[in-house]
Amino acid sequence: MRKFKPQPGFVVQAYRYALDPNARQEAALGSHCGAARAAYNWAVGWVEASWWQRRAEETYGTPEKELTAWRPWSLPTLRKRFNEAKHTDPRFAAWWEENSKEAYNTGLANASAAFDNYAKSKNGKRRGKRVGPPRFKSKRKARLACRFTTGTIRVDVDGRHITLPRLGRIRTHEPTCDLLTHVQAGTARILSATVRHERGRWFASFQVEVKRDLERVARPDVAVGIDLGVKTLAVLADSTGEIRTVPNPRHYEAALKLLRRASRTVSRRQGPDRRTGGKPSRRWEKANATRNKIHHRVANLRTDALHKLTTSVAAEYGTIVVEDLHVAGMLRNRRLARRIADAGFGEISRQLDYKTRRRHATRVIVADRWYPSSKTCSGCGAVKAKLPLHMRTYTCDACGLVIDRDDNAALNLAALAANAVTGTGVAGDQDTAPAALKPRGADRKTRTTRTASAGRAGGATLPHQRQTETRDRPHTEALTLW
């Protein structure tokens, strides 16, 4: 193999392959992942021991200066303390040598990151929902994963095996020719490898620094608006007026009958009892494995369908407009939660975000969550005050336009990109000059006004447009231009 030569234009991406380990290798994989979990639990217990000790001392009236010192949770400190404890701690002394040091380093690194997230969240330095202190990982619920960063990590020359530290040579379920070609040509370097057990089988993900040339889209001057829904998965309306509907496969509903039958079979078997420590019967384990296979197949079908959709969209259009949907809030609707989860709205947005980074001169515009794409007339720009969800046909009271609700929303989303110069957000105002600014305000109420009059002088972006622009890079982080 040629020596890797760093060059401009290299990116870090993942190559993921399914594995076919034998019985010995599968046991070794499980042992490494279990070692990572044990190291994580040790680190959490070691750090929190000082917390509980200080709390107990405070109840005794111990002065602040005499309290037990806080134990640090930096990764170097955890490594040093763990290396001292593994020889004497009865939880590790008998078997720690059976696994690679990378297994324990995985658990310690995860614990250090968990404590960092908790500290940043508590101090207000971390966005999103408040994060609590790390908790111990259960052997029954913990996800099996282990990361290798040092040692022998390679893709074998036959294209059907990989080599990992202490685990040795493992056969892959699918060929690794795509990564092997880059490595042999000297245009890729493997940084790390992560083995994970999910959906009933083992996978290996390689983090690779690879040279990637930007790909050009088929129609760089065409913008497309994507309206996601439950009845139809997506409605694509481009700036040329073409509308395409992507039906919703509804994989989960298609397998619901089989899942109900399999679940009834599982419920009639003797399962595990956590209260008494009872173990499940073999018939229960066999029935549960059958039910899990149905779940795994549904998940694989959904992933395949979403990847095909997002790949085709990212390869065709130069500008993509999507909605900023509040998926977590939508899932609170008990009547639609199952169908919304089956559609995978959040996954579509995530895949479009990273797949457009591989294309030349592409951009993604994320419409504001409060932009009334469904209530706005794509012909004249009139906005309805209310539009119930059961009304699937949009009828404009101003111009008399009658159009499908989803088609109307997709046209308005495409207009956000087509009218980026004028600042309007209406499909029918592509040739309309901007007028005086009339912002929607902070009350988030839909007003029955013509959105064409909301254009900004100078062509600035409206509050309902969040855009990622292409400059020196094919794709940058999404910026909210308020």
Active site residue 316: no
Catalytic residue among 227, 238, 353, 368: 227
At residue 361, the pLDDT reads: 78
State residue 213's pLDDT score. Answer: 82
* pLDDT exceeds 60 at position 473: no
The residues with which 394 forms a beta bridge, in sequence order, are 403
Residue type at 329?
Answer: G
Cα distance between residue 84 and residue 93, in whole Å: 11
According to the model, what pLDDT value does residue 64 have? 87
SS3 assignment for 390-455 = CCCEEECCCCCCEEEHHHHHHHHHHHHHHCCCCCCCCHHHCCCCCCCCCCCCCCCCCCCCCHHHHC
Q: Mean pLDDT throughout 439-457? A: 42
* Contact indicator for 170, 204 with CB cutoff of 8 Å: yes
Angle between helices 75-85 and 23-59 (to 10 degrees): 100
400 pLDDT band (50/70/90 cuts)? Answer: confident
For residues 172 and 159, give the distance between their C-alpha atoms in angstroms, rounded to a whole number.
Answer: 9
User: Domain map of the chain by residue range?
Assistant: 10-18+148-211, 24-122, 219-355
Closest to 320 in 3D by CA, of 226, 421, 385, 245: 226
Marked catalytic residue, from 102, 238, 323, 407 = 323
Average pLDDT, the chain: 85
**Amino acid residing at 177:** C
Active-site option among 102, 353, 368, 406: 406
Q: Does pLDDT of 425 surpass 70?
A: no
- Our answer to whether residue 227 is catalytic in this structure is yes
Q: What does the alpha-carbon distance between residue 108 and residue 104 come to, in Å, rounded to a whole number?
A: 6
pLDDT in tens, 21-63: 999 999 999 999 999 999 999 999 999 999 999 999 999 988 8
Q: Is 406 a catalytic residue?
A: yes
Global pTM?
0.78
- Name the amino acid, one letter, at 261: R
